[in-house]
């Protein structure tokens, strides 16, 4: 079964003079894993807070499970939002959190939560404020996974988690998602680590959507061409340039758009080197300051 | 296993190609079952939808076929068809870049042929 879970149109959120989310349009389809990517302050968290009814938009329309999220308990019950720095009541242990979780999440799987506690080696009897930063993140990750909410948001879920713990998170997420498909939105800076988990990527910068594409379409969609400046320039002449670097007579230019066999041969004949651009590098190019606003328009075109 | 995915091409293509390689190498025999989408997803740490897309490509190409309720199996004659296709691609994929690089270095065709033979004797 598939359907549209979230439909946002012209969605806008302002704080005084500052526009955090600037008239964005997007949809989230059921049972997909999304990456909501962008730099700090790009508007990712604001978008997620709007979707989960924690903020009211200033303009635009927003439907989550077919209706406005704010103040609709039936919609809110189907969502789980794991914030970067979740606060818990004073004196709470993680055992308290896991006991309370089924009151909010009807699909809560206590056995799965227990397994995750063991995986993450989380001390459940220690008070949460005494936990390390990584252990605190583990509490959030466990709630996010074991709640099995039809729409789950992870906002920078793993501050302080070590590489092993992060890979446990990725593995458990994939395993559980395979058995219990649901819509998951991952917001993170560790783009290289999650790139392969994502089915779809939404890149946001300064409150606007820069890229909204299937992850596999993004992969291999940009290439860095390096070599003698004149040869590079002639090769990229009629292509969409999203990044440009140079050193003396050498140039390295990143272009958007897939290269075919003929392009590759032409590049080889010109003595140019072609290098694939990872999702993370692409995002650095698209949201860096080197080319500014022109880049966004070229890519959108 | 040492199987790495790279950033240059869509993952689904790489999944399909690795299955094809296994068929060509004889690791996967005709009539043998290939791993499930979720097994691919877990092994490569990729989205199951991406793995499914790779498997579907193999189905479209007639390399594997679904047996209802059981899984995907390598079709009869898959290996021969794959080899035929790879041979057709061989010139563009391997020979053209080789010739381009050889020309750059001033190696003519006869010398190149000699180098190929010498390399073959060594290996």
Mean per-residue pLDDT over chain B, rounded: 91
B50: left (phi over 0), alpha (psi -120 to 50) or beta: alpha
The CA-to-CA distance between both ends of chain A, in Å, stands at: 33
Q: Closest chain A residue to B43 measured between Cα atoms?
A: A171
Is there a contact between A216 and B12 if contact means CB atoms under 8 Å apart?
A: yes
Q: Does B1 touch chain A (CB under 8 A)?
A: no
Q: Closest chain A residue to B53 measured between Cα atoms?
A: A216
Range(s) for CATH 3.30.70 in chain A? 220-289
Give dist(CA B58, CA B19) in Å, integer.
Answer: 9
Res A219: pLDDT: 82
Query: Which residue from A229, A235, A254, A236 is spatially nearest to A244, judged by alpha carbons?
Result: A254
Collapsing DSSP states into helix, strand and coil, what is residue A149? coil
Q: What is the pLDDT of residues A229-245, one digit of tens each?
A: 999 999 999 898 988 88
Res A216: pLDDT: 85
Q: Could you tell me which CATH class the domain A220-289 is placed in?
A: alpha beta
Residue A236: both structure tokens together: 């990229």
Helix (H) or strand (E) holding B74: strand B71-74
Res A289: pLDDT: 63
Q: What is the pLDDT of residues A178-222, one digit of tens each?
A: 999 999 999 988 888 899 999 999 999 999 999 999 998 888 788
Res A14: pLDDT: 96
**Domains in chain B, start-ordered, CATH in brackets?**
11-76 (1.10.10.10), 86-122 (no CATH)
Helix (H) or strand (E) holding B73: strand B71-74
Q: What is the pLDDT of residues A3-60, one digit of tens each?
A: 999 999 999 999 999 999 999 999 999 999 999 999 888 999 999 999 999 999 999 9
Superfamily of domain A4-215: P-loop containing nucleotide triphosphate hydrolases (3.40.50.300)
Range(s) for CATH 3.40.50.300 in chain A? 4-215
Collapsing DSSP states into helix, strand and coil, what is residue A200? strand
Substitution target in B37, B49, B101 with the highest count of A β-carbons within 10 Å is: B49
Q: What is the pLDDT of residues B62-121, one digit of tens each?
A: 999 999 989 999 999 999 999 999 999 998 888 988 998 899 899 999 999 999 999 887
Give dist(CA A152, CA A52) in Å, integer.
Answer: 10
Q: What is the 3-state secondary structure (H, E, C) of A83-141?
A: CCCCCCCCCCEHHHHHHHHHHHCCCCCHHHHHHHHHHHCCCCCCEHHHCCHHHHHHHHH
Q: What is the CA radius of gyration of chain B?
A: 18
Residue A132: both structure tokens together: 């390390």
Res A296: pLDDT: 42
Is there a contact between B47 and A268 if contact means CB atoms under 8 Å apart?
A: no
Substitution target in A32, A174, A190 with the highest count of B β-carbons within 10 Å is: A174
Is there a contact between A269 and B47 if contact means CB atoms under 8 Å apart?
A: no
What is the greatest pairwise CA distance in chain A? 69
Is the pLDDT confidence value at A155 over 80? yes
Q: Which residues contact A119 (CB under 8 A, 6 or more apart)?
A: A168, A172
Using an 8 Å CB-CB cutoff, list chain A residues near B46: 174, 196-197
Q: pTM of the full predicted structure?
A: 0.84
Is there a contact between B8 and A278 if contact means CB atoms under 8 Å apart?
A: no
Q: E-assigned strands of chain A?
A: 4-15, 18-29, 33-37, 59-64, 79-82, 151-155, 183-187, 200-205, 208-214, 222-228, 240-247, 250-256, 273-276
Q: Kind of pairing, strands A59-64 and A4-15? A: antiparallel
Collapsing DSSP states into helix, strand and coil, what is residue B31? coil
Give dist(CA A169, CA A160) in Å, integer.
Answer: 13
Q: How far is CA A36 from CA A33, A56, A111, A185, B69, in A?
A: 10, 20, 29, 7, 36
**Between the CA atoms of A146, A109, A100 and A103, what dihedral angle is there, to the nearest 10 degrees?**
110
Q: What is the pLDDT of residues A162-189, one digit of tens each?
A: 999 999 999 999 999 999 999 999 998 8
Q: Does B75 touch chain A (CB under 8 A)?
A: no
Q: Does B28 touch chain A (CB under 8 A)?
A: no
Residue A100: both structure tokens together: 């309370």
């Amino acid at each position: 079964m598939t359907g549209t879970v979230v439909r946002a149109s012209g969605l806008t959120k302002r704080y005084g003079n500052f526009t955090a989310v600037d008239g964005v349009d997007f949809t989230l389809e059921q049972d997909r894993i999304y990456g909501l990517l962008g730099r700090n302050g790009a508007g990712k968290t604001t978008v997620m807070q709007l979707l989960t009814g924690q903020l009211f938009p200033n303009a635009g329309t927003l439907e989550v499970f077919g209706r406005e999220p704010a103040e609709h308990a039936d919609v809110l019950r189907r969502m789980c939002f794991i914030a970067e720095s979740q606060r818990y009541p004073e004196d709470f242990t993680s055992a308290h959190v896991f006991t309370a979780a089924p009151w909010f999440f009807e699909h809560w799987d206590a056995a799965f939560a227990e397994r995750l506690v063991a995986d993450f080696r989380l001390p459940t009897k220690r008070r949460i404020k005494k936990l390390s930063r990584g252990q605190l993140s583990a509490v959030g990750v466990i709630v996010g996974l074991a709640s099995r909410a039809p729409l789950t948001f992870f906002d920078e879920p793993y501050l302080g988690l070590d590489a092993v713990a992060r890979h446990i998170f990725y593995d458990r997420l994939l395993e559980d998602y395979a058995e219990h498909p649901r819509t998951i939105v991952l917001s993170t800076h560790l783009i290289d680590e999650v790139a392969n988990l994502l089915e779809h990527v939404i890149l946001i910068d300064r409150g606007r959507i820069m890229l909204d594409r299937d992850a596999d379409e993004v992969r291999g969609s940009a290439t860095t061409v390096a070599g003698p400046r004149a040869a590079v320039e002639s090769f990229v002449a009629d292509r969409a340039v999203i990044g440009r670097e140079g050193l003396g007579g050498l140039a390295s230019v990143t272009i958007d758009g897939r290269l075919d066999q003929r392009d590759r041969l032409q590049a080889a004949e010109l003595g140019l080197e072609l290098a694939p651009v990872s999702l993370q590098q692409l995002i650095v190019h698209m949201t860096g300051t080197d080319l500014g606003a022109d880049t966004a328009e070229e890519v959108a075109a | 296993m040492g199987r790495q995915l790279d950033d240059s091409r869509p993952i689904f293509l790489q999944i399909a190609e690795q299955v094809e390689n296994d068929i060509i190498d004889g690791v996967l025999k005709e009539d043998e079952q290939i791993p499930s989408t979720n097994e691919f997803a877990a092994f490569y740490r990729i989205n199951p939808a991406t793995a499914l897309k790779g498997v579907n490509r193999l189905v479209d190409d007639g390399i594997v076929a679904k047996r209802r309720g059981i899984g995907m199996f390598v079709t009869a004659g898959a290996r021969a068809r794959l080899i035929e296709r790879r041979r057709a691609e061989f010139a563009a994929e391997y020979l053209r870049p080789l010739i381009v690089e050889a020309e750059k270095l001033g190696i003519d065709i006869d010398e190149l042929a000699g180098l190929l033979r010498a390399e073959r004797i060594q290996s």
